């Protein structure tokens, strides 16, 4: 029985989910992150993916949809636990409570 755990972590995404071209490589972006998380979950046992806050506020899309698009993307990533950062309250506490109900992951 393997008792090892693999911890994956991200934070401060600020609703910016597009990869960027750096020289000849794509860097960042939720599609690359999603692929990496999926790969590790397939290869390793006991994988825990955490998001340590500041998912919101920073991109035009996140600001336009007030975090709803970000929550939907986070649902697809399937984190095991998410904590609240200071930018999670940028749209107000009432809206954060609404977004929490949209989340399909533990917070």
59-76: per-residue pLDDT in tens?
888 889 999 999 999 999
- Over 90: is that where the pLDDT of 51 sits? yes
Per-residue confidence (pLDDT) for residue 75, from 0 to 100: 94
Per-residue confidence (pLDDT) for residue 90, from 0 to 100: 93
Per-residue confidence (pLDDT) for residue 28, from 0 to 100: 85
Q: What is the C-alpha to C-alpha distance for residues 106 and 45, in angstroms, rounded to an integer?
A: 20
Per-residue confidence (pLDDT) for residue 5, from 0 to 100: 94
Say what percent of the chain tops pLDDT 70.
97
Per-residue confidence (pLDDT) for residue 1, from 0 to 100: 58
Average pLDDT over residues 36-56: 95
- Over 90: is that where the pLDDT of 17 sits? no
- Over 90: is that where the pLDDT of 16 sits? no
Residue 77: name the closest of 45, 101, 55 by CA. Answer: 55
- Between 36 and 106, residue with greater pLDDT: 36
């Amino acid at each position: 029985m393997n008792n090892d755990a693999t911890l994956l972590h991200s934070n401060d995404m600020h609703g910016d989910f597009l990869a960027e071209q750096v020289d000849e490589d794509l860097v960042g972006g939720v599609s690359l992150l999603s692929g990496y998380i999926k790969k590790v979950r397939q290869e390793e046992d006991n994988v825990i993916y955490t998001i340590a806050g500041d998912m919101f506020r920073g991109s035009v899309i996140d600001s336009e949809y007030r975090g709803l698009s970000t929550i939907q993307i986070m649902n697809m990533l399937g984190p095991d636990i998410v904590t609240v950062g200071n930018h999670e309250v940028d749209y107000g506490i009432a809206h954060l409570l609404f977004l929490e109900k949209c989340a399909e992951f533990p917070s």
